[in-house]
């Protein structure tokens, strides 16, 4: 477990959050806003945590029930050393959270690994989804992987770099942003990953990228991809940072090919951490889109 949140970070992340027992331990999540309000569910990726979505919580909690989980191994959630840390487990944990809170009419917002996890949940429960916001992510199979990330999958080197030196999370605070981050934001993003044990998910997410059919998460991702077509008629907003070394504009183009009805905003001066580089742009686009979108209620 990580220690208490430092005061400097609390100024940016003032919420106390709640907990749910799931497979792997206690899952931490934010649940802000009225329980009677429409739901906005934001799903983070690697190596971030619910801190990444803080601007979304601040902006929309007055009108939405904003729910933001920390995946097992991430943020304030438990970090078991012997859990599988595979895609299906993360999807199942998100399913459990949504079912426990009985979330419906969900505006689903995803980023990075949150795309595969969030869309994996959505594909299994399409009746709970009203609209989708897609940011720098994938929920389909691809062979594209940057060399720097692929190297973190090498036995021995990956553990040393990612768990020993925290290189993956630290480098992301520079490489995943186009405009740069303040020191307190950098500290906030990497703070939960302060030891070898607490960095386990950071490495396991990298190892779980299913590039080949023999990988245990490959059939799960294939199912997620097959389920995407269910949402061809759902309102979808794509907000993309094109200055992304990982989820490049080619990934955005694939989302656009699959969902030609989507409203797309792409920015050449925004990197992978879209909600760090341009939170005001994403929020402005979301506000206008939500006002105009014809979302479906149950």
Q: How far apart are CA 246 and CA 98, in angstroms?
A: 29
- 141 burial (CB, 10 Å; 0-12 / 13-18 / 19+) is middle
Percent of the chain with pLDDT over 70: 97
For residue range 9-65, list pLDDT tens digits in order.
Answer: 999 999 989 999 999 999 999 999 999 999 999 999 999 999 999 999 999 999 999
Determine the 3-state secondary structure of 65 from DSSP: strand
Query: Is 297 domain-assigned?
Result: no
Contact between residue 286 and residue 237 where contact means Cβ atoms under 8 Å apart? yes
Query: Is 2 domain-assigned?
Result: no
Q: pTM for the whole thing?
A: 0.96
Residues in the chain, overall count: 298
CATH of the domain at 12: 3.40.50.1820
Query: Is 157 domain-assigned?
Result: yes
For residue range 57-86, list pLDDT tens digits in order.
Answer: 999 999 999 999 999 999 999 999 999 999
The residue segments making up the domain with residue 113 are: 7-292
Domain count along the chain: 1
For residue range 172-186, list pLDDT tens digits in order.
Answer: 999 999 999 999 999
Query: Is 227 domain-assigned?
Result: yes
Query: Is 104 domain-assigned?
Result: yes
Query: Is 245 domain-assigned?
Result: yes
Query: Is 274 domain-assigned?
Result: yes
Query: Is 151 domain-assigned?
Result: yes
Question: N- to C-terminal Cα distance for the chain?
Answer: 39
What's the chain's average pLDDT? 95
The predicted structure's pLDDT at residue 51: 98
């Amino acid at each position: 477990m990580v220690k208490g949140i430092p005061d400097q970070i609390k100024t940016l992340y003032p919420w106390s959050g709640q907990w749910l027992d799931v497979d792997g331990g206690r899952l931490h999540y934010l649940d802000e806003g009225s329980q009677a309000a429409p739901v906005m569910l934001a799903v983070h990726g690697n190596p971030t945590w619910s801190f990444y979505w803080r601007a979304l919580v601040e902006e929309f909690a007055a009108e939405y029930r904003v729910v933001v989980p920390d995946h097992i191994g991430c943020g304030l959630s438990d970090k078991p050393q012997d859990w599988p840390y595979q895609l299906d487990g993360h999807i199942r944990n998100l399913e459990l959270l949504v079912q426990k809170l009985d979330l419906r009419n969900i505006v689903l917002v995803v980023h990075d690994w949150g795309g595969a996890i969030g869309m994996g949940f959505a594909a299994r429960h399409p009746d709970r989804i009203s609209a989708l916001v897609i940011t720098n992510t994938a929920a389909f199979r691809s062979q594209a992987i940057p060399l720097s990330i692929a190297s973190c999958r090498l036995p021995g080197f990956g553990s040393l770099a990612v768990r020993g030196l925290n290189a993956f999370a630290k480098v992301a605070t520079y490489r995943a942003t186009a405009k740069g981050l303040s020191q307190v934001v950098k500290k906030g993003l990497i703070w939960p990953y302060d030891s070898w044990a607490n960095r386990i998910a950071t490495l396991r997410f990298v190892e779980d990228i299913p590039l080949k059919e023999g990988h245990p998460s490959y059939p799960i991702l294939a199912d997620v991809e097959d389920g995407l077509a269910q949402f061809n008629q759902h309102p979808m907003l794509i907000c993309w940072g094109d200055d992304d070394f990982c989820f490049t504009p080619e990934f955005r183009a694939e989302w656009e090919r699959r969902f030609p009805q989507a409203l797309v905003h792409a920015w050449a001066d925004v990197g992978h951490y879209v909600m760090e580089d341009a939170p005001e742009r994403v929020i402005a686009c979301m506000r206008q889109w939500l006002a105009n979108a014809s979302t479906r209620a149950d």
